[in-house]
Chains A and B, each alone.
Chain A
Amino acid sequence: MGKIIKTFVLILLLIIPFSVQAYASDTTKINDLIENALSLDGKNVTIQGEAIGESFERGEYSWVNVNDGTNIIGIWMKTDDAQKITYYGNYKNKGDTLRISGIFRRSCSEHGGELDIHSDTVVITNTGSYVPEHISDIKIIAAVFLSMLSGFVVWLYLKMKK
């Protein structure tokens, strides 16, 4: 019995790390959705990517743009789901990573022919964060030195104009 339990635990230990990879691979890349839009039209798909910009609230539903690194797609989701998103990607922030399952439309009649996904489930798999700026000393020195040099040349130019 002990051997069986040990074997079972070992198998579990081996399977769990790989199960994470399998979790990611069942998603479809946005570029693949666009390339295969005709065959995937009306099908249930799952994508994973970063929420970017900001949400566009339209009453009970909202638009959220998601970027998976290959492209961006508009997700039509419940406003309640959109409100759970803490960070949207921009210059200062890395947006929340969302895993979205829903119906893919090549040319959605509800939204003026847009290529979109109407979400069924939205899961935040990774919360975004503030991304601090890293400014190198060289950048500061170069800016100060060049601005002083250009200041001198501008002075010469103004002197010439007189």
Chain B
Amino acid sequence: MKITNKAVSSIEIIIYYTGYIILGMASLMLIPILTSLLLAEWSPLLDFITSMSITMLVGCSMVLLGKRTHQRSANIQWKHGFVAAALSWLLLTFLCAIPYLLSGHTNSYLDACFDVMSGFTTTGLSLTQDLDHLSVGLNMWRHILTFIGGQGMVVLALSFMAKGTSGAYKFYVGEAKDIELVPNVKGTARIIWKISLVYLIIGTLALWIDGIMIGLKPLSAFFHALFIFFSSWSTGGFAPMSNNIMYYHSLSYETVTLVIFILGSLNFGLHYAIWKGNRNELIKNIETQSFLVTSFLACVLALFGLSKLNVYPDAVSAFRRIIYNVLSAHTTTGFGSIYARQFALEWGDFGIFIMIIVMLIGGSACSTAGGFKGLRVGIVFKGLLRDVKKILSSERNMRVFKYHHIKDNILSDEIICSSSIIIICYIVLFSTGTLLGVYYGYPLASSAFESASVTGNVGLSIGVTAPTMPAFLKIYYILAMYMGRLEFLSIFTLIGYAMGGIKKLWVKS
């Protein structure tokens, strides 16, 4: 093949790696294809063959267009990693929505894209119609999307790269996963997958056995277990049936999911540290401390608030309906053990306010969870304490403040500032969503609840998200889920890169 001497352009590098990630996702469509084949679901089988072919075509074409990147081992810069990560999420949303559209279970392509972005970002809000009659193949696809989205599509692509890429870390950070478990990024990506797969086996087995015990048939119990595990571990919130976790009418099933989604909301670094025998990390880590404090406070406040309103009759009801939903919101899972409208009609403004706060805080950084993360809350809180201590102590007293997250880190102005900026970005995103909801005529509390749910990638609904909602609100929610999940930087880089390209074209013409 002829290789030109011209330097590899940034566009070629971005196209090449985006295509590579798309190919990785295309190959995953083999799973629903096999599921449909085994269960003799012929229409979904054809839908997935069509979708996989289109996705492969796009992915291969992109790789071929950017082939010089591979041939000349082009140098990857930060912007390439960030733009490729953001672009691949965007393009994959359009491509992975094809099976939804072909199934006829969505009212429009926009609704299909909404559900895919909701899955990728582990949000869990759904516009898919008539879930109860959905094929197992499409249900498999919905839950795979949320599972892959939780661990990261770039992480998946990196794990299977034939050769380690020198700039792999830049792609990895672009997907808001900035932890290095081992010096090699490919190794880190593989460890993330190993951790997830170990939990997948244990969690699915536990849910399968419990499913059979609560009355599901063995084969059906297996698929329910697999889907609910995918959703719980990824803090996703999708469920195979319309009435979500209420379908099972089981305390034990709810408890197993509760354990899984709390584990899923913890940092992969923490899982790895415990796996390596460093159990003290669980107690010392700033994120677990932050999560414990905020979840305890939220649960207690919600219990007091709702007991004042006499919403639930006893302690078991309070656990199943209050604690479960608060923790589901805090871990950004979005499994709901009450109907969406019950939040609006029964929980009162106090209950809704607590839910909004925990949904915005979210789980741990570098986990499957969303929100502005316990790590940032902990850092900003410690930063505030540091400033107060500095004012109170002598000016000659030079003290270095630290926080513990996997290792001891210096609490620098830079880290406090970057954490605060991200929190501010989340609050702007949330406020804009609330404003938009109110503009379209939804009550303030409902608009704020739904906006917090999309911003924090939670998935609980108060009833705003529906196929009948305004199209612009759907588009805003898609963008909010996308920005919330990738934590802004990649998307801002993509926008900046696109604007720069437009400017160049403008100057040339």
Contact = CB atoms under 8 A, between A and B. Distances in A.
Q: Do A and B interact with each other, yes or no?
A: yes
A161 B71 CA distance: 9
Contact of A55 (B54, B135, B215): B215
A73 B338 CA distance: 11
A74 B215 contact: no
A135 B313 contact: no
B77 interface: no
A139 B99 CA distance: 12
A17 interface: no
A72 B135 contact: no
A53 B132 contact: yes
Interface in A20-44: 31, 34-35, 37-38
Contact of B133 (A38, A55, A89): A89
Contacts of B419: none
Contact of A90 (B53, B67, B132): B132
A149 B57 contact: yes
B53 A109 contact: no
B61 interface: yes
Contact of B41 (A56, A63, A91, A142): A91
A140 interface: yes
Interface string B334-378: 000011011001100000000000000000000000000000000
Contacts of A63: 215, 249
B321 interface: yes
Given A35-B345, A72-B132, A107-B313, A143 B56 contact: no
Contact of A112 (B52, B53, B217, B251): B251
The secondary structure that dominates the A interface is mixed
B42 A133 contact: yes
B37 interface: no
B43 A135 contact: yes
A53 B60 contact: no
A71 B214 CA distance: 23
A3 interface: no
Nearest to B216: A54
Contacts of A34: 339, 341-342, 345
B43 A133 contact: yes
A90 B43 CA distance: 15
A37 B346 contact: yes
Contacts of B216: 54, 56
Contact of A111 (B134, B241, B249, B345): B249
Contact of B246 (A74, A107, A146): A74
Contacts of B317: 107, 109, 112-113
B199 interface: no
Nearest to A67: B132
B60 A113 contact: no
Interface string A52-78: 111111100011010100011110000
Given A53-B241, A54-B216, A114-B246, A109 B313 contact: yes
Contacts of B67: 160
B198 interface: no
Contacts of B70: 160-161
Contact of B56 (A55, A56, A154, A161): A154
B165 interface: no
B242 interface: yes
A15 B314 CA distance: 49
Contact of A56 (B49, B249, B313): B249
21 contacts: A31-B341, A34-B339, A35-B345, A37-B346, A56-B214, A62-B215, A67-B132, A91-B133, A107-B311, A113-B312, A113-B314, A113-B317, A113-B318, A115-B342, A133-B41, A133-B43, A139-B50, A146-B50, A149-B57, A157-B63, A157-B64
Interface of B: 1, 41-43, 46-47, 49-50, 52-54, 56-57, 60-61, 63-64, 67, 70, 102, 132-136, 214-217, 220, 241-243, 246-251, 311-314, 316-321, 338-339, 341-342, 345-346
Interface of A: 31, 34-35, 37-38, 52-58, 62-63, 65, 67, 71-74, 89-92, 106-107, 109, 111-115, 133-135, 139-140, 142-143, 146-147, 149-150, 153-154, 156-157, 160-161
Q: Which 10 A-B pairs have the closest CB atoms?
A: A113-B317, A56-B215, A146-B53, A150-B53, A150-B56, A112-B320, A72-B243, A153-B60, A109-B313, A52-B132
Given A56-B248, A107-B313, 18 more contacts: A38-B345, A54-B216, A62-B215, A71-B242, A71-B339, A90-B132, A107-B311, A107-B317, A109-B317, A115-B338, A135-B43, A146-B49, A147-B50, A147-B52, A147-B53, A150-B60, A154-B56, A160-B64
